[in-house]
């Protein structure tokens, strides 16, 4: 057994990241300022979108997206049950109702056929989630959205590097939101980015991300020029700090290099875990012209072959100093969504099937090859002891 605990999702922080943060601290400017602008410009160029707005979390970005679309009480927004709570929580925060549509078991992404079945006269938007970095069927979803006059907000928390049939995720839906949480492929500790091609939406979301005031602190207080401000919207405290952006600048510069490392690690897992009874390896295949971001490596436990629960399997890995994640238990069965919206087991059977079996293994550029083999050995022992 390895002597130290292998933390799930530990980020790779380089010396250049540290130096940029130190430079920010020494500059005396820690809040939203020039490094946020620099990060936004680099991210916009990487994605190929017309606009990029840095925020303090993907959750904040999703909320701003719904807000700028005017979604509120009486409206419905369709999303997947296989996602983090934030995806549906932001719908609730607007006063709208989250409507779940089941997934495709093979891709673990929302099923467009189920989306269309869930549409009512109150539906205003669809929030697909690119699960684990695998792009959703955006052709089908965008076709549905246009036919029913709906907006599409892509939850790309897992999908910074992803492409769909020759188009970059972040340029397909009406608005796309990315995450830079500590476990994500680009890490700023906390943070997110919104992309859109609509200038009016971008301006409104930027204003609302900082209390709805007309001049941010950099414009008000920097040496360049003092300018008073007005409150144009009742906005939010959703802005990114220069300290966060200082990390993101160099994380983004390494994103392609780090994807190659994760692809290599994914292949090692696939090879070493092949043919082992009790587990189903993730389906990493994508359509021609598409790219999987390899954010998560998610095993499915073949419960028909096991005499113990997923919790016991995870505990066996932890006892061997291997950290894991669960992405995700089906959201409609969580306490709030069960009780508030009267969901029951059986409502979304494919999401429940995946949610009962999924276990995520460590997959980070920070890992050494030896770490991967420690994980593989722990999985083998956990399955057969």
- Could you give phi then psi for residue 167, rounded to 5 degrees? -115, 135
Contact 152, 174 (CB under 8 A): yes
Residue 131's alpha-carbon distances to 86, 310, 358, 363, 382, in angstroms, are: 14, 20, 12, 15, 26
Look up residue 314 and give its two tokens.
């995870």
The three-point CA angle 250-248-49 to 5° equals 105
Question: b/e for 149-161, b at 16 or more Cβ within 10 A?
Answer: ebbbbbbbbbbbb
Is the peptide bond preceding residue 328 cis, with omega within 30 degrees of 0?
A: yes
Q: Considering 35, 168, 184, 208, which one is annotated as catalytic?
A: 184
- Could you give phi then psi for residue 358, rounded to 5 degrees? -80, 140
CA distance 286 to 246: 33
Q: Residue 342 contacts by C-beta under 8 Å, 6 or more apart in sequence?
A: none
Does the active-site annotation cover 184? Answer: yes
Query: Looking at the annotation, which residues are catalytic?
Result: 184
């Amino acid at each position: 057994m390895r002597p130290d605990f292998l933390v799930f999702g530990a980020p790779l922080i380089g010396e250049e990241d540290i130096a940029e943060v130190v430079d920010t601290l020494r500059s005396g400017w820690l809040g939203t300022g020039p490094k946020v602008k620099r990060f936004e410009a680099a991210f916009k160029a990487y994605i190929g979108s017309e606009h990029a707005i840095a925020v303090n979390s993907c959750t904040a970005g999703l909320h701003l997206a719904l807000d700028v679309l005017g979604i509120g009480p009486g409206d419905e927004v369709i999303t997947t049950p296989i996602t983090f709570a934030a995806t549906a929580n932001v719908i609730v925060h607007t006063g709208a109702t989250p409507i779940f549509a089941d997934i495709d078991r093979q891709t673990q992404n929302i099923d467009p056929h189920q989306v269309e079945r869930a549409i009512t006269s109150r539906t205003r938007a669809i929030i697909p989630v690119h699960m684990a970095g695998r792009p959703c069927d955006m052709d089908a979803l965008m076709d549905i959205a246009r036919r029913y006059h709906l907006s599409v907000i892509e939850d790309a928390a897992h999908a910074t590097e992803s492409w769909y049939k020759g188009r970059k995720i972040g340029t397909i839906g009406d608005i796309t939101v990315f995450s830079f949480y500590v476990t994500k492929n680009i890490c700023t500790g906390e943070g997110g980015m919104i992309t859109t091609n609509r200038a009016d939406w971008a301006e409104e979301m930027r204003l609302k991300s900082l209390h709805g005031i007309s001049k941010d602190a950099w414009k008000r207080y920097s040496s360049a020029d003092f300018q008073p401000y007005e409150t144009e919207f009742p906005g939010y405290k959703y802005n990114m700090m220069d300290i966060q952006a200082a990390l993101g600048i160099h994380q983004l510069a390494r994103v392609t290099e780090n994807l190659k490392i994760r692809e290599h690690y994914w292949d090692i897992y696939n090879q070493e875990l092949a043919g082992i009874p009790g587990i189903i390896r993730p389906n990493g295949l994508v359509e021609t012209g598409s790219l999987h971001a390899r954010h998560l490596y998610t095993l499915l436990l073949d419960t028909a072959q096991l005499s113990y629960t997923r919790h016991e399997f995870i505990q066996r890995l932890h006892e061997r100093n291997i950290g894991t994640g669960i992405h995700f238990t089906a959201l409609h069965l969580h306490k709030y969504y069960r009780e508030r919206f009267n969901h029951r087991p059986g409502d979304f059977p494919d999401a429940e099937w995946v949610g009962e079996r999924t276990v995520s293994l460590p997959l980070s550029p920070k890992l050494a090859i030896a770490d991967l083999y420690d994980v593989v050995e722990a999985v083998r022992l956990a399955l057969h002891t």
